[in-house]
Amino acid sequence: MIDQLKRMSLRQRVSISIWLVSVILGLILLAFVLR
Amino acid sequence: MQDRRETAIVSLASTMNRNQVAHQRAKMDQNHETEICLVARIGSQKHMKTLLLIICYIAAVTLPLILSWLVGGPPRAFHQELASGLGILAFAMILMEFVLSGRFKNVSNDIGMDVTMRFHQIMARIALGFAILHPFLYRGTPSGGPRPWDSTRQLVITTDFFDLSTGIAAYLLLPSLVLLAIGRTKLDYKYETWRLMHGVGALLIAALLLHHTVYAGRYGSQPVMTGVWLAMTTIAIGSLCYVYLLVPLRDKTRAWRVTSVMQVTQKQWEVTVAPDGHSGLDYKAGQFVWLNVGHSTFSLKENPFSISSAPAAGPEISFMIKEFGDFTRTIGQIKPGTIAYLDGPYGSLSVEDRTEPGVALIAGGVGLAPLLGILRQMRLTNDPRKVKLVCGNRSVDQIAYREELGPQDVTLVVAEQPEIWDGETGFIDGPLLDRTFSQEEFAEWVFVLCGPPIMMDIVENHLLKRDTPSHRILSERFSYD
């Protein structure tokens, strides 16, 4: 995993970070809705 | 790195006995390991800071949602809670956009201004998506004002026009703001006009949403949540005031004067400024500043430019500027003695703290500016690291500072081959990089890239293919899309 990250371009890493942030926000939103 | 060590050991061996050589070899091995550890530590510190910033962003954006969860009333139907949740998240994300505007060194100087701006753009689009969905999900919810038996507003939504009007106004303004930002380069706006519209529009949206959230929101009307939204909006608007009022006020006491304006190629200029009654700017080679020439310190007529001079050369600062937009086309008309203001330094394109044995500078067009600053600094300070510069241009007459660059360790590339030319022809691509750098250099050197996006993509992909670790590739883009 770490090795794969080292082989990624900056744009790919930024895209992954944005996806990751979006997924976390989505999960927190889901938890709020389903509480 | 290995070669350098072996050569040093061989030369030492001629003057020392066996034990001394063995001792020296052990010492150099230890230094070599220390260098590797330092590189790893710099990389890991940067990753840790990025991770910390991401965690801070998630915490700030979800804080109102989590607090609403804790202080809000009993849950309603799924679609109503989703509508509220999306609205809360969208507003929090919009407020965080102010902090992600790129003018905060603590945020952008480590991860890069281009990365910060890309994040700002994408998050704005996601927030817009959430905001667009927000009202539609309330469909089917009874309206008509609060019922006396429903104190927690579990069953109804407000239909008070005053409370909804600010939400509707923000609903119309937000897509306009995002679409104008996306189409900025295609629409022929002056840069400062666009900045003013973007800033005022964002300010207006924040104020409208604060009113809508507090007066129409089921959660926002809770006293605790009203306080939270008020605090977050104050921070967001405060950050705008900091950038456009406090920073200019500070810069007012640190004026600069233009000392020379020199044409370096047909469309490229060198502008030099000197501090006017102060010690100058503490910057690293490769960084950039927001430059305001001839206007009030509060003027929006400022543009980001890379510094092409070296800190070791003294307090004067030079910029290599290409005629491109409405301001840069008038560079030649600037008179020496004109007042200038600098806000910065910004940017993460620096090799000052790097411990790699060599530095590869790869520039396209005016992307040479920050790399020239690095090269000048390395030459002025007799930096022991090896350095190679690859510089691409469309034609020979576009190559700036050709004499200063010199032939040693410099590869000039032109797309249009002239009649007499001893440099490379074509583009900066994989085969050219393979001819310029050895496998060892690909693996051990730090590569600094600045130029058009297509060049950056080609070079970065090739470096990764040649096993250059991503933490040894430093880059700064002019455009963020």
Final residue belonging to a domain, choices B223, B251, B279: B251
Inspect the interface and report whether the beta carbons of A9 and B470 lie closer than 8 Å.
yes
Residues of chain B neighbouring A26 (CB-CB closer than 8 A): none
Pick from B61, B85, B475: CB nearest A10: B475
Residues B377 and B473 in one domain: yes
Q: Nearest Cβ partner of B54 from A5, A8, A21?
A: A21
pLDDT score, position B200: 93
pLDDT at B145: 63
Q: Is the Cβ–Cβ distance between B58 and A24 less than 8 Å? A: yes
Q: Do B186 and B225 reside in the same domain of the chain? A: yes
CATH of the domain at B386: 3.40.50.80
What distance in Å separates the CA atoms of residue B76 and residue A35, rounded to the nearest whole number?
A: 10
Quick one: which H or E segment has residue B370?
Answer: helix B368-380
Average pLDDT over residues A6-27: 88
Q: Count CB neighbours of A34 within 10 A.
A: 10
Q: B224 and B78 in one domain?
A: yes
Under an 8 A CB cutoff, do B69 and A13 touch? no
**Nearest residue on chain B to A32, judged by CA atoms?**
B69
Cross-chain residue pair A18–B123, CB shorter than 8 Å: yes
Which tokens belong to B352? 């000052």
The answer to whether residues B222 and B283 belong to one domain is: no
Written as one string, the DSSP assignment of B300-368 is S--EEEEB-S-GGG-S-EEEEEES-STTGGGGGGPPTT-EEEEEEEE-S---TT---SEEEEEEEGGGH
Range of the domain at A24: 2-33
Q: What is the pLDDT of residue B37?
A: 47
Residue with the larger pLDDT of the pair B306 and B4: B306
Our CA-based measurement puts residue B57 at a distance from the nearest CA of chain A, in whole angstroms, of 9
Query: What confidence tens digit (pLDDT) does each residue in B327-348 have?
Result: 788 888 899 999 999 998 998 8
Per-residue confidence (pLDDT) for residue A1, from 0 to 100: 66
Same domain, B336 and B451: no
Whether residues B334 and B447 share a domain: the answer is: no
Average pLDDT for chain B: 85
| B11 pLDDT more than 60 | no
Q: So what's the pLDDT on residue B239?
A: 92
Query: A10, A18, A35: which to substitute to probe chain B, counting the most B Cβ within 10 Å?
Result: A10
Q: Listing from the earlier edge strand, what are the strands of the sheet with B386-393?
A: B424-425, B410-414, B386-393, B358-364, B446-451, B473-477
Q: Which residues of A touch B89 (CB under 8 A)?
A: 25, 29
Least confident of A6-10, B134-138, B201-205: A6-10
CB neighbour list of residue B266: distance below 8 Å, 6 or more residues apart: B397, B398
pLDDT in tens, B221-245: 889 999 999 999 999 999 999 989 9
Inform me whether the pLDDT recorded for B35 exceeds 70.
no
- Chain A residues with CB under 8 Å of B54 CB are 17, 20-21
Q: State whether residue B35 sits within 8 Å of chain A by CB.
A: no
B126 touches chain A (CB under 8 A): yes
- Residue B153 clears pLDDT 70, i.e. is over it: no
Phi, psi of B217 (to 5 degrees): -80, 140
Each residue of B86-102: pLDDT tens digit? 999 999 999 999 998 86
- Predicted confidence at residue B8, as pLDDT, reads 38
Q: For residue B463, what are its two tokens?
A: 């470096």
3-state secondary structure B80-104: HHHHHHHHHHHHHHHHHHHHCCCCC
For B400-455, the pLDDT digits (tens) are 998 898 888 899 999 988 888 888 889 999 999 999 999 999 999 999 999 998 99
The minimum CA-CA distance between A33 and chain B, rounded to whole Å, is 5
Q: Structural domain tally of chain B? A: 3
Q: What is the pLDDT of residues B102-122, one digit of tens each?
A: 678 877 777 888 888 889 999
Q: Are residues B180 and B247 in the same domain?
A: yes
- Predicted confidence band of residue B140 (pLDDT cuts 50, 70, 90): low
**B305 and B279 in one domain?**
yes
| One domain for residues B100 and B72 | yes
Q: Tell me the backbone φ, ψ of residue B344, rounded to 5 degrees.
A: 160, -160
Partners of B268 in beta bridges: B265, B322
Encoded amino acid at B419, one letter: E
What does the alpha-carbon distance between residue B459 and residue A4 come to, in Å, rounded to a whole number? Answer: 19
Mean pLDDT of B277-283: 93
Say how many domains are in chain A.
Answer: 1
The pLDDT-based confidence of B146 (bands split at 50, 70, 90) is low
- Sort out which chain B residues have CB atoms less than 8 A from A32's CB and list them: 65-66, 68-69, 81, 85
**What's residue B231's pLDDT?**
97
**Antiparallel, parallel or unpaired: β B410-414 and B386-393:** parallel
* Together in a domain, B100 and B209: yes
Q: What residue numbers bound the domain in which B274 lies? A: 256-346
d(CA B234, CA B228): 10
Does residue B19 sit within a domain?
Answer: no
Q: Does B468 score more than 60 pLDDT?
A: yes
For residue B303, give the CATH number of its domain.
2.40.30.10
Q: Where are the beta strands (DSSP E) in B204-287?
A: 256-265, 268-275
